[in-house]
Structures are given as C-alpha cells and as structure tokens.
Amino acid sequence: MTIRQAMVLAAGLGTRMRPITDTIPKPLVKIDGKPMIDYALDALVAAGVERTVVNVHHFAGQMLDHLEAYRGLDIIISDEREALMNSGGGLAKGLTLLDRENVFVMNADLFWIGEQSGRPTNLQRLAGFFDAERMDMALLCVGIEDTTGHNGRNDFGMAADGRLTRYRDDPTNPVVYAGAIVMNPSLLDDAPQDAFNLNIYFDKAIACGRLFGMVLEGHWLTVGTPEAIGEAEETIRRLRAFA
C-alpha cells in the first residue's frame, strides 16, 4: 500500500534547544549540515508521498521560506501563529486540509538513519503493516539500544503481533515511539477543537487493543538540547563509516 499524503508536526517552541531557538525554529536546526525537518520530508518523498501538511508557529516566516524552497512535495501550511494546538490539536487541524485516505504523521525533530538501499524504507514497511480492520494507528518504534539522544525511558511494551501497551503496564519487549504514525484521518473526527495531546488517542487505542507498532530498521536520533547536536553528528559519522 502506497500512502500519498502526510502531516509533519513542526510548530513547537523548542524551549530545551535555547539559546539556539531564540533565533531559529527547532525544525531548521542543522544536524550534519541538514535541517532536521528535511530528514522527515526526505523520508516521506522516499516513501512515495506527494503532498504533506506542515504546521507552523515559532518563527513561522523562516519555516515558510524554507518549505517554499523545498522540492519534491506539495506542501500545505497549517498556520498556528495565533495559538499553538499541541500535538493532537495540531494534527486534527492539519488533517482537515488533506483527503480522507490513510496518512503518515511525523515529528519534525525526530529522525533515523541506516536504512538499507534496495529494500523498502521504514515508512513503506509501516504503511504495509497498517491494517485498518485491526488498528487505529500503527506506530514506528525502536529498541532503546538503537537510539541516540533519548532520555532512557521506554514508552510501550510490544507483543509478538505488534500490539502496544504502556510500558508501565507491561514492560515486556520495551520500545520507544520513533515519531512516525500511519492512521486514517477519520480517527480524529471526534477530536476537540482546542489544544490537546495526541497521547489521549494512544490511550484510547490501547484500551480497545487497537494500537500497534513496528520496529524500525536503522538507528534513531532525537536532538533535544544544544549539547545533543554534537552527539548526534558523531553517531551519524560513526555509522556512516561502517555503512
């Protein structure tokens, strides 16, 4: 199954990245010479996505200039300059700008490296894994041993079939949420109109046994502080040397 549309969540303030984010939005902070959001956008292009919504708030003008210059995707802006909507509210608002077909959802500041050429990408694998009959959402996940910059906490326990529960409730086969989802926009038809956290829908899906995950291939990076930039770039250089 090829998914042609996506939303990238990119409107956060990036407060832990200060003082860098006093002058630039976090998604435009460069890691190994490349803005973080471009890792997400490039992954979507590689998966066959044609159109994506990106929400903007912090230094929105810089984001608009960068996205206008990006080639390979039809990019639609979801403007949150008047009020931040948090992850869930921002997603619900952005999805109204897309069709009712299945969609990728990605964070602009989380990415992975090390996919093998000639094989399906992680997003393509996630799209093939998603089964709307059994799942509300399919999350891309990663083992904590394959992360750089993470806080050390596991998010979910994953059953053999991929079904997810909160790690605190079932620490079997622990995984970290890697910042990519496949879902159908109809899931948020009942969403509130104001700001809310997407974790509400994770928990709803868990309660119904309909939250599933798939482990990515490669290495996952999150850059939450200025000090983490060097660590991420060193990891990229090290893994590139062994590729």
Please write the tens of the pLDDT for every residue from 64-76.
999 999 999 999 9
Q: Of 173, 157, 160, 172, nearest to 206 (Cα)? A: 157
**DSSP secondary structure letter of residue 163:** B
Tally Cβ neighbours within 10 Å of residue 143.
15
Report the amino acid identity of residue 119: R
Least confident of 122-131, 164-173, 211-220: 164-173
Residue 239's H or E segment, with its range, is helix 226-242
Share of the chain above pLDDT 90, in %: 78
Answer whether residue 168 shows pLDDT above 90: no
Answer whether residue 242 shows pLDDT above 70: no
CA angle 148, 70, 51 (to 5 degrees): 90
Tokens of 15: 């407060």
What pLDDT was estimated at residue 181?
98
Residues in Cβ contact with 241 at an 8 Å cutoff, skipping those fewer than 6 apart: none
What pLDDT was estimated at residue 56?
94
What pLDDT was estimated at residue 142?
96
What pLDDT was estimated at residue 45?
97
Bridge partner list, 74: 51
pLDDT digits (tens, 9 = 90+) for 6-65: 999 999 888 888 999 999 999 999 999 999 999 999 999 999 999 999 999 989 999 999
In the chain the first and final C-alpha atoms are separated, in Å, by 29
Bridge partner list, 56: 79
Per-residue b or e along 156-191, where b marks 16 or more CB atoms closer than 10 Å to that residue's CB: bbbeeebbbbbbeeeeebbbbbbbbbbbbbebbeeb
Tokens of 53: 């919504």
Peptide bond into 19 cis (omega under 30): yes
Residue found under tokens 């949420």: 177
Bridge partner list, 242: none
Answer whether residue 160 shows pLDDT above 90: yes
pLDDT digits (tens, 9 = 90+) for 111-156: 999 888 889 999 999 999 999 999 999 999 999 999 988 877 888 9
Tokens of 150: 């993470």
Residue found under tokens 């897309």: 98
Q: Coil, strand or helix: which one is 40?
A: helix
Residue 243: which pLDDT band, with cuts at 50, 70 and 90?
A: low
Q: What are phi and psi for residue 29, nearest 5 degrees?
A: -65, 130
Phi-psi group of 87: left, alpha or beta (phi > 0 → left; psi -120 to 50 → alpha; rest → beta):
alpha
Which residue segments constitute the domains of the chain, with CATH numbers given? 5-242 (3.90.550.10)
Mean pLDDT of the residues in the chain: 92
